[in-house]
A and B are shown apart, each in its own frame.
Chain A
Amino acid sequence: MRRRKLTPKTITVFISMCVLAIVMLYPFVFMINTSFKSKAQYFGAPGHSTASWGKLFKTLPVAQQLLNSTVVCAGAISIILLVSTMAGFAIAKMRSKATPILFLGIVGAMLIPLQSIIIPAYINASKLNLLNGYWGAIFVYAALGSPFATFLMTSYFRGIPEDLVEAAIVDGLSYPKVFLKIGLPLAVPAIITVIVLQFIQVWDDLLVGLLFIQEPTYRTITVGLGALSAGRVTDIPVLMAGSLISAIPAVVVYLIFQRQLVNGLTAGIGK
């Protein structure tokens, strides 16, 4: 093990990094500190209390909304994984004249910003009666996540040697069997990356949930909070308690799967 030397340079670097850490952690400190104050304490009265936490559970159906977020995330991620592993395998390992069209049609959709399609998609979904439950949001999230997931899966499956697939086919295995027995087990790291990336994306989203979940009882926690804050609720400690609760699941996932998240982020640049 190399011993790190203490030089003026390393000390300066260390101090700068500490200052920056404070800047980046400030929201968390603010949230925690403020949530443990009553409204009066927030406006200057001394001390801390759990009054705002009690109030939060009366203002916002927290448990229901956390459950809703979980359902929407699970639904969207399941669909994304199903369609993107299959499509990625098809594009990488079942090449034909149709492959470039399939690739362009699926992965090319990454270029479409959500805001550009949201109006027609909203009208379509309302005509199809998809706005009354979870389904409208689940499908839109799934469609938004699938292009990049397919891109990731494709580059992953490309790493499987062609000979391995050929040999299995010659041995009499069908393509679906090769996909299930050889493809999927090898794609586990990419699958985890997609789950982590999409969980954070969907959990944290406001716009799709706001429009595609019309029934308040089905609202996700992020949408519930967004609506509460836009309603100009002035009880800031209550809002901060809600923010903290909504942030915890994504932060936990982040802390456990940081490496996969970074892999997903940098997948677009390559190694």
Chain B
Amino acid sequence: MAKKSSLHSQRTRTGIFFAAPALILVSAFLGIPIIQAGYFSFTEWNGVDAIWLGFSAYTQEFKNPIFWRVLENNGLLLLGVPIAILFPMGIAFLLNEKVAGWKIFRSIYFLPTAISWVVIGMVSMRFFAQEGLLNDIFKAFGLGFIKTDFLSSEKGALFAVAITFIWSMVGTNSIIFLTGMATLDQSLNEAARMDGASNFRIFRSITLPQLNRFIQFSFIITVISAFTALFSLIFVMTGGGPGFGTTTLEFFIFQSAFSRGNFGTGAMLGVILFFMMAVLGIGQLLLMRNKDE
């Protein structure tokens, strides 16, 4: 008994010792800074001196029309999320037909995942430009009158960012759905077909429910990307403009702190972003938990 408990305490001690480096690293560079962000969000801070403002820091920001404009941009980007999920789902169905060369196609669709936003942004910028390919395509279809530099208008630029974002999610989301389709129980389909169910009916009542957790997963990944992964794309493609046309919350944080020196406001916007993502992230963790059980 004494031996066993000493073994137990040895295990506890070694376990804590083993986990300590990761815990210290994560605390030093993520944990402590998020607490600091919480504190400094209530202050006016230039990076050196901080003046305590309390809740009025938040209420002031909530009166700032630019803040709401920025959130509106985030909201508009979210409109792209259903497309960024449904389109890849369709692609996954095509891939799942396993016609000749489907593995090569799969590799091609997933390839942009390896490319940086900087590179994607630079190419995308030219694609949407006045002399870019998109306008050439419009012209080819007799829509030459549309001819416009998308990045020069607020709505056009946001549209360009959204399309680029959707394009970049194609690989990730179709891989998620392809993984999901590999888990489908084919015998259910056949049983349903025997009972005379239509293709649509099989899709809606049998396939979709089985894909449920994959849809949830891709939804969360897509929304998190829309909120937190587009900094570099916006930085390269539009710089947040024209005006505040493509400034999203994550870009606004950077601008507030590093272009305008309002570190306190930047910290506060960071806290707001954190709470928005935490709600989603907890959902994701619960999802992971479910499959563990």
Contact = CB atoms under 8 A, between A and B. Distances in A.
A261 B271 CA distance: 31
A206 B28 contact: no
Interface stretch (A48-56, A58-66, A187-195, A249-257): A249-257
Interface residues of B, number: 101
Contacts of A109: 26, 30-31
Interface string B1-29: 00000011011101111110111011111
Interface in A3-48: 4, 9-10, 13-14, 16-17, 20-21, 23-28, 30-31, 34
B45 to A, nearest CB: 9
A206 B235 contact: yes
Interface of A: 4, 9-10, 13-14, 16-17, 20-21, 23-28, 30-31, 34, 79, 82-84, 86-87, 89-91, 94-99, 102, 105-106, 108-124, 139-140, 142-144, 146-147, 150, 155, 169, 174-176, 179, 200, 203-207, 211, 222, 225-226, 229-230, 236, 239-240, 243, 246-247, 250-251, 253-255, 258, 261-262, 265-266, 268-271
A180 to B, nearest CB: 12
26 contacts: A4-B99, A9-B97, A17-B95, A17-B99, A17-B102, A27-B123, A30-B123, A82-B21, A86-B18, A90-B14, A90-B17, A94-B14, A111-B282, A117-B30, A117-B37, A175-B10, A204-B115, A226-B118, A229-B118, A230-B235, A247-B119, A251-B114, A251-B115, A254-B114, A268-B287, A270-B288
Interface stretch (B151-159, B172-180, B199-207): B172-180
B166 to A, nearest CB: 11
Interface of B: 7-8, 10-12, 14-19, 21-23, 25-34, 36-37, 40, 47, 91, 94-95, 97, 99-102, 105, 107-124, 126-127, 133, 167, 170-172, 175-176, 179-180, 183, 213-214, 217, 221, 227-228, 231-232, 235-236, 239, 249-250, 253-254, 257-258, 263, 266-267, 270-271, 273-274, 277-278, 281-282, 284-285, 287-288, 291-292
Nearest to B95: A17
B109 A20 contact: yes
Contact of B236 (A87, A230, A251): A230
A120 B110 contact: no
B114 A120 contact: no
Given A109-B30, A258-B110, A115 B254 contact: yes
Closest 9 CB pairs of A and B: A94-B15, A204-B116, A143-B29, A270-B291, A90-B18, A87-B22, A254-B114, A120-B36, A117-B33
Contacts, number: 309
Contacts of A94: 11-12, 14-15, 18
B26 A14 contact: no
Nearest to A31: B123
Contacts of B105: 17, 20-21
B274 A119 contact: no
Contacts of B287: 268-269
A143 B30 contact: yes
A116 B271 contact: yes
A247 B179 contact: no
A147 B29 CA distance: 12
B231 A115 contact: yes
B94 A16 contact: yes
Nearest to A89: B18
B274 A114 contact: no
Contacts of A155: 292
Contact of B273 (A83, A113, A271): A113
Contacts of B235: 206-207, 226, 230
Contact of A226 (B30, B232, B249, B284): B232
Nearest to B37: A120
A116 B274 contact: yes
A251 B36 contact: no
Contact of A14 (B99, B121, B236): B99
A139 B215 CA distance: 34
A253 B47 contact: no
Given A105-B26, A175-B10, A24 B109 contact: yes
A90 B105 CA distance: 41
Contacts of A147: 26, 30
